[in-house]
Structure 1
Amino acid sequence: MYQEIALAIDDPVATITLNRPEKLNALTARMLLELKHALVVAERDERVVGIVLTGAGRGFCAGVDMGELQRIQAAGDIGAMQARTEFDDAQPGDPGMGPDYTRGLTYLLTVRKPIIAAVNGPCAGMGFSLALFCDLRFAAEEAVFITAYARRGLVAEHGTSWLLPRLLGPARALDLLWSARHVDGREAFALGLAQRVVPGERLLAEAQGYVRALATTVSPVSLMHMKRQVYRHLMLPLGPAMEETEQLMAASVTWPDFQEGIVSFLERRPPRFRRVTGAN
């Protein structure tokens, strides 16, 4: 079904692999549409608690494919990066998050399940932005993060100017954007860009193991609501954010997962929480 990615589901983990290793998994219009479709499948599958996104071969993603960039340059129109596929109608995520999360890669913030980028090698340009819009980034020691945009005479693309300062602060964000320098896995961890750094041979197991640990200890419904709160509340003043939180607090004590959380603690057994589908 897919030509440029691979999807594997092994309860409770969905692993999506960008699969153009001969091109360092450079992005095409088709690959981006296949990624959207795979996220729809993972989001709707009740077995899946979390999603790991990685790259085949020695790279995570080298950014937009050079052929696509040449077409954009020749046309003078970023819309030249288009494709018609069987996946055109795929729409992952929660539309209730609102219009702010419908442009470019921002839809990743609305997917109802955690998304972890397992960055195994070069991660540049739009590939950098793709990793940025995942919820967490686990990096191999040999990973290389490069914003790259300034080296191509471009601007901070794909929402990077909005999200990177929120993760690292304005000065560190500008340093990475201006210099377009290489940041390895250890520095990415020190900056707060990556949440884990491990030897490359352990990377995928580390990311998948994180999801497996979530599945055995915490409520997937709680994960869904917490993700929604964090990203929605980035856009709200404190007062409205608190009002929404208090409404959720009042509702959550009536949910089956709250009862299961208390009972499983009293009975000293692992919790049996509900799983999330796209309809939750």
Structure 2
Amino acid sequence: MSYETILYDVKDRIATVTLNRPEQMNTWNDQVATEVYDAMQAAGADRGVRVIVFTGAGKAFCAGGDIHSFGGDPHALMTKLPRPFDMRKRADWQTRCSYYPAIPKPVIAMLNGATVGIGLIHALFCDIRFAADDATITTAFARRGLTAEYGMAWILSHHVGHARALDLLLSARKIKGIEAERMGLVNRAFPSDTLADETYAYARDLAENCSPRSMRIMKEQLWEVPFQTPHEAIMAAGLDMPIANQCDEYKEGMASFLEKRKPNFTDD
């Protein structure tokens, strides 16, 4: 698929998906949604990709929804996308903004600038978030007469806790990347001029030194945790342990450790 609103690149086993509407601050519309979804699925299925970085071109990651593209109705986007929204499912990771947990590889959101509204929702459903320390981040909804859309109340409180989520949603106040790091909304905040270097150094470390199978299984385990009792989580982990111990990746991981060399894991 050729893309008009995003860039897609693969290098060193890292796929980069870049929102590429810098003049519009990478605001979100139905075409962006379709192209990002397609690129994420392609990266997830590509055996030559081990890590995915999601970022924006220019001064913004994503400054919210492109209201002009859907006639001033922010909910029009939902009616245009063909993917199902099944409220009967406990954890339907294939809905409009929450499909990132179902991608079998780590997805790192690199928040290079303004991250607003629906842009923040997408970032929150990624696995890791690195931000520029001066990036502006806000939920925005309360100041537009909207509510916590696309599961934001759940995912935001999952990351930062109930009290902080209420603060950010009710006030829609703007915070910077450095405050987002302190409250746990992002994993790390870096000076804007080193953000890309730090992000890709981390991504390369995962791609070069970590087992693709291990990362895939542990990602599944962590995203399942909110729906499990401790007993269920322990039992599920126990079911995979004997399987992991028989895998070639386990043998290579142990051999590389004993031989004091970098591992050479096969693609999952």
User: Any idea what SS the aligned residue of 1:206 has?
Assistant: helix
Other-structure match for 1:193: 185
Other-structure match for 1:14: 15
User: Any idea what SS the aligned residue of 1:189 has?
Assistant: helix
Deviation of residue 100 (structure 1)? Answer: 2.3
CA distance in 2, matches of 1:79, 1:182: 25
Matched-pair contact (CA < 8 Å) for 1:29–1:81: no
Other-structure match for 1:36: 37
Other-structure match for 1:59: 60
Matched-pair contact (CA < 8 Å) for 1:12–1:211: no
CA distance in 1, matches of 2:79, 2:137: 24
In the alignment, which of 77, 80, 83 is matched to residue 82 of structure 1?
A: 80
CA distance in 2, matches of 1:120, 1:37: 22
Matched-pair contact (CA < 8 Å) for 1:53–1:117: yes
In the alignment, which of 213, 228, 236 is matched to residue 236 of structure 1?
A: 228
Matched-pair contact (CA < 8 Å) for 1:123–1:146: yes
**Cα deviations across residues 39-89 of structure 1 (Å, max 9, x unaligned)?**
12211222211111111110010111021453426xxx6456526xxxx78
Deviation of residue 99 (structure 1)? Answer: 5.3
Larger mean Cα displacement after TM superposition, 102-111 or 53-62 = 102-111
CA distance in 2, matches of 1:64, 1:176: 18
Moved over 4 A (4+): none
CA distance in 2, matches of 1:262, 1:149: 49
Matched-pair contact (CA < 8 Å) for 2:134–2:177: yes
**Cα deviations across residues 199-220 of structure 1 (Å, max 9, x unaligned)?**
1121122111111011222111
Gaps of 5+ in 2: none
Matched, 1:168 2:160: yes
Alignment of 1:95-114 (within 5 A): 100-114=92-106
Matched, 1:214 2:202: no
CA distance in 2, matches of 1:186, 1:26: 23
The letter of the residue matching 1:126 is I
User: Any idea what SS the aligned residue of 1:113 has?
Assistant: coil
CA root-mean-square deviation: 1.9
**Cα deviations across residues 228-277 of structure 1 (Å, max 9, x unaligned)?**
0000122111222211110011211111111111111111111111223x
Report percent identity of matched pairs.
38
User: Any idea what SS the aligned residue of 1:101 has?
Assistant: coil
Residues 63 and 114 of structure 1: CA distance in aligned 2, closer, same or farther (over 3 Å): same
In the alignment, which of 114, 134, 137 is matched to residue 145 of structure 1?
A: 137
Other-structure match for 1:94: none
Residues 71 and 202 of structure 1: CA distance in aligned 2, closer, same or farther (over 3 Å): same
Alignment of 1:107-122 (within 5 A): 107-122=99-114
CA distance in 2, matches of 1:99, 1:175: 25
What is the aligned residue count? 263
In the alignment, which of 248, 251, 260 is matched to residue 243 of structure 2?
A: 251
CA distance in 1, matches of 2:180, 2:145: 24
CA distance in 1, matches of 2:38, 2:15: 13
Matched-pair contact (CA < 8 Å) for 1:51–1:114: yes
Structure with the larger RCO, 1 or 2 (CA within 8 Å, 6+ apart): 1
Q: Which TM-score applies when normalising by structure 1?
A: 0.89
The letter of the residue matching 1:201 is D
Matched-pair contact (CA < 8 Å) for 1:72–1:81: no
Gaps of 5+ in 1: 92-96
CA distance in 2, matches of 1:170, 1:70: 34
CA distance in 2, matches of 1:50, 1:19: 20
